[in-house]
Amino acid sequence: MQLTRELTWNADSASSSILHLTISETTKDLAKDKLLRNDGLGESIENLGKGWFNTHQYSVEPIFHSRVLKHPCRVYDENRAKLFYVPFYGGMDVLRWHFKNVTEHLKDVLAIEVLKWLGSKQSWRKNSGKDHVFVLGKISWDFRRNNKFASLVSVCIPVIFDPYTAYYQYAWHLPEDHRTYSVYINKDDLKAKKVNVIKKLMLVTIREREDMRSYIVHELLPGLVYGDPNANFESMSSEHLLNGGAV
């Protein structure tokens, strides 16, 4: 396996956050599956209308890659770069061997080759790789399997019984004021039979439900679903642009 080509970027304006790209042709070959078409979003689901795709659970890596290629802070000159993105599709590499009886050496060979190649680069040696970023899409780290996020993506108002399962655990991803998108019922009160779930939910007015659903659609969803790398998200922050339109 050879890591053969380096691609750098052009910047249109100065920025304190300058990105530089190093790309491996080998890892790029991992993304030929039909589920990873359309810049990693997968094949379109025509019966759901425009903008819906059959997105693979490991495809955050090529989706991020496609988005970061279009980032306005990219540069061609690696000497100007403050941050280096390494598009190594580690999650997809795991997927190749996960259900096969192969040697540990074969499982690790691509990752080892990537590290060897990086070690040969002056840009890596300059700061011992501290300014290089890997993006991994391991399924065990993917909160899309979390039922709270499944609820939000379906524009359903989640009912939370333990703040640690959502509010505290995902403080970076969800707004501090949880009343804008969810209903909280204390689990201890529920166990002590101090609260009736049905009656509690019936106290939520129609207007409150409409406001929460509107907040979910217009404020939360843009950060919970993958954005089309070719779309122009002018209203989004740099963080949203970097993470591919998804948290």
Question: Is pLDDT of 200 > 70?
Answer: yes
The Cα angle at residue 235 between residues 132 and 81, in degrees rounded to 5: 25
Phi-psi bin for 205: left (phi > 0), alpha (psi -120 to 50), beta? beta
d(CA 35, CA 59): 8
Question: pLDDT digits over 8-62, tens only?
Answer: 333 333 333 455 665 454 455 555 566 678 888 888 888 887 878 888 777 788 8
d(CA 121, CA 28): 19
Question: Is pLDDT of 238 > 70?
Answer: no
Question: pLDDT digits over 66-76, tens only?
Answer: 888 888 888 88
Mean pLDDT of 162-172: 86
Strands 159-160 and 183-184: parallel
- Entry pTM: 0.58
Write out the two tokens for 154. Answer: 């379906």
Q: Residue 243: what pLDDT?
A: 46
Contact 63, 136 (CB under 8 A): no
Q: How confident is the model at residue 187 (pLDDT cuts 50, 70, 90)?
A: very high
Query: Could you give phi then psi for residue 239, rounded to 5 degrees?
Result: -65, -40
Computed over every residue of the chain, the mean pLDDT equals: 76
Mean pLDDT of 101-109: 80
Q: How confident is the model at residue 103 (pLDDT cuts 50, 70, 90)?
A: confident
Question: Is pLDDT of 207 > 80?
Answer: yes
- Closest by CA to 173, choosing from 98, 240, 81, is 240
Question: pLDDT digits over 110-129, tens only?
Answer: 888 888 888 998 889 999 88
Write out the two tokens for 175. Answer: 């707004």
